[in-house]
Amino acid sequence: MKKSNRDPDMLREYDFSRGVRGKYAKRYARGANVVVIDPDVAKYFPDHESVNQSLRSLVSIIRRRGKIRHRVRP
């Protein structure tokens, strides 16, 4: 008899028989930067492009004031 080590959160309906192990591993390893913005701030930004543009503008201001050091990722 095979011992069952079922995760209680995994339903019997889940079918991973055609799943591919590590399918997205390389993409994930390159980096996943997810930032959660509080709802009161998010209401001013309709999409990711507006958030990025605003942050680029802020970075430009900070650099001009000489108060930021560019971080280099390993």
55 in Cβ contact with 64 (< 8 Å): no
59 in Cβ contact with 68 (< 8 Å): yes
Tens of pLDDT, residue by residue, the chain (74 residues)? 455 677 888 888 888 889 999 998 888 888 877 888 999 999 999 999 999 999 999 999 988 888 656 666 65
DSSP letters spanning 2-63: PPP---TTS-TT---TT--TTTTHHHHHH-----PPPHHHHTT-SSHHHHHHHHHHHHHHHH
State if pTM tops 0.85: no
